[in-house]
Chain A
Amino acid sequence: MSGYLKLAGKNLLRHRTRSALTMLGIAASVGVLFSVLSFNKGFTEGLAVELERTGLHFMVVPSGCAHEVAALVLHGAVIPKFLDTKVMEHVIDTAGIDLATPILVAQLPDPQRGKIDLIYGVDMSVLLAIKPGWEIIGKIPEQDNEILLGYEVAQHEKLQPGDQFSSGAGTTLLVAGIVGLTGSQDDAFVYLPINTAQKLLDHPSAATAIGVKVTDPTRMVEITDALTAAVPGIQIVTMGEVMNSISNLAASARALSLAIVLIAILISAVGVMNSILMAVFERTQEIGMMRAVGASRRDIFRIILEETTILSLSGGLVGILISILGSRMIEAFVRAVMPFVPSGNLISFDPGVAAGSVLFIFIIGLCAGIYPALKASKINPVEAIKG
C-alpha cells in the first residue's frame, strides 16, 4: 500500500462513524444502481426466454390493445373479446403456416367453492409444441373430460393425476396430469381441451386468440400481411412486438428508477464532499504542519483525493455486495408489485454491470473530492500553524 493511501486510510479511521455512514450512503446508492441495471438485464433475458418457450411466432387476436395481447401471450390474461373459431379456417388456408391453434382463456367462477378458476382451453395435440419447456406429471389430456392442472392449482386443491376436479359449471373433470413448477403464471391455470372450455363458458365457437407457428420465419411479414387482408376485424401481433411492448413498459419504469437512483447518488456525493470538507477544516493545523515538513500542495491534494477514493470504492463494493445478498428480497418485491414478471432470475450478477457501477461511483467520488482537495491544498501553512 502506498504511503499516501495508508495515510488517507488512517485519516478516515480517525472518525470511524462518520466515515462508515458516508460510505454506507454511497453503498446504498450503488446497490440500487446495480440492482436497477441488473434487473433490466435479467428482465429482458427472462422475457426473451419466456417468449421462446411459447413456440409460436405470432398471435391472431380481435382488434384491440397490443398490451392486452402481450399480457395474454405471457400470462394468459382474460380479454373480454372473442374471435370466432371460423377465423381458424382462413388461418390454416394461408400459405406458409406450420401450426395454428385456438386458445381460449377465461375466468370460470365456482360459487360452491367460492373461487374463480382461470381456465386455458387449447388443442391438447399441440400443447407441447406451444409449451415446449413444460414437464408433465401424468399425461396430457386425451378425452374431452380430462384436464391438466397448473402446479399451484394442484398444490392448493391437493389434487393428483387420477383425482376428480369439479368445475364451476357443475361438470366433474378428471385430472390427467399436472404441469411441473414453471415459476411463472402458467402455474395458476387449469388447462383443458378447447371444446370443453367452450362448452363450460357457453361460447361454442369462441377463442381468445389463435397462436400461429410459420414454416419459415423469414416470410412472416408476407404471411401476416396476407392474413390481415383476408380476414377483417383481426389484429396480428408478433412475438417481437410483444417483447417490444413489454420492454417499453419496463423501460419506462427503468428510466424513472434510474432518475431516482441518480438523485440518490448525487445526494451521497454531496455527503462525501461534506464529510471530507469537515475533515479538512478539522485538520487545518495538521495540514499546515505537513506543508512545513515538506508536503507540496500537490501532496495535500493527493491525500485528500485518496480519502474520497477509498470512501467511494469501498462504498461501491459494499453496495454491490449488499445488492447481491438482497437480490432475492428485491425479486420477491418486484414480483409482488409488477403485473408481468418473467420466470427465472430477475437480477443476474453481471461482472460488467458491477464493474461499471463501481467505476461510475468512483468517478462521482473523485468529482466530489476535488473541491475539498483543492481547498486543503490552498491552505496557507503559516495561517494554519498559527491556528
Chain B
Amino acid sequence: MIELKQIEKSYRRGAEEVRALRGVDLSVTAGELLAIIGPSGAGKTTLLHILGCLDQPTKGEVLYDGMSTSHMPESELVQLRREKIGFVFQQFYLIPGLSVFDNIALPLLFSKKPASRSKIMALAEMVGLEHRLDHAPAQLSGGEMQRTAIARGLVNDPEILLADEPTGNLDSENSDKIYTLLRSLSQNGLATVMITHNTELAARAQRTVQIRDGLVHSR
C-alpha cells in the first residue's frame, strides 16, 4: 500500500547539516500493525511525517498505491492526507474550546463532509467515549484524550493511521488500552504505524522496525 524507496532526508540546524534519514526502504501493507522503535533523534518522527505526506524526502520516492508523491502539488498532498491518512500525536492536540464531539469531527470540516451524529457516535463507542461526547478536553483523563484523538484520526475513514508515540504520555494501564485499540483497528484492515519507546508494546506488534542514525536496522 505504501512503499518508501531509498528515502533520504537532510535539513539544516544552524550551520550544521543534519541527515535524519539515510536511505530508508520500507513498505506498509493494509491491516498491518507496524511498530517503529529507536533512540531519540534517530529519525522516527521524520519517517512518520514522510509516510504521512506532511514532509517531503530530500531524495528517494514515496509510493501510495503505486503512485509517487514526489512531484505532487501541495493541494494533492492535502487531499491525500484528508482521504487516506489519519494522524495521532503524543500530545493529543485536542482543541480546548471544542467538545469531544467537535474534536472528533474536526477533520470532516476540512474534507467538507457533514459531521453526521451517527458516525461520530459510532467512533466514540468504538473508543469507549460515547458518554463523553459533550465534555471538554479538560474534563478528560489522558487516556480519554488519546482515545478522542484516535477517533479524530479515524473520522475520514483513512487507509493508514500514523501514531507518534501515542502512549508516551500515558500510564501502563491506559497505554495497554490504546495498544489494544490500535491492534483491533489493524485487525479490521487499517494499516497502523506506531512510533513507540515502549519495547513491551513494540514486541506485541505484528512487525517491528528499528531506526538508528537514520537507517533501518532490523525488520
Contacts and interface: CB of A to CB of B under 8 A. Distances in A.
Interface of A: 3-4, 6-7, 10-11, 13-14, 285-286, 288-297, 299, 381-382, 385-387
Interface in B107-138: 107, 109-111, 115
A295 B74 contact: no
Contact of A381 (B54, B109, B115, B152): B54
Contacts of B82: 294
- Report the 3 A-B pairs with minimum CB-CB distance, sorted nearest first: A294-B82, A10-B97, A289-B93
**Which of B82, B110, B156 gathers most chain A CB within 10 Å?**
B110
Main secondary structure of the interface of A (DSSP, over half): helix
A294 B152 CA distance: 11
Interface residues of B, number: 29
Contacts of A6: 102
A7 B98 contact: yes
Contacts of B87: 289, 292-293
Contact of B152 (A14, A288, A293, A387): A293
A295 B45 CA distance: 20
Contact of B106 (A11, A13, A290, A381): A290
A279 to B, nearest CB: 11
B97 A293 contact: no
A293 B115 contact: no
Contacts of B97: 10-11, 13-14
28 contacts: A3-B109, A4-B109, A6-B102, A7-B98, A7-B106, A10-B98, A11-B97, A13-B97, A14-B96, A285-B93, A286-B93, A290-B106, A290-B110, A292-B54, A293-B87, A293-B110, A293-B152, A294-B81, A296-B74, A296-B78, A297-B74, A299-B110, A381-B54, A382-B49, A382-B54, A385-B49, A386-B45, A387-B91
B95 interface: yes
B89 A289 contact: yes
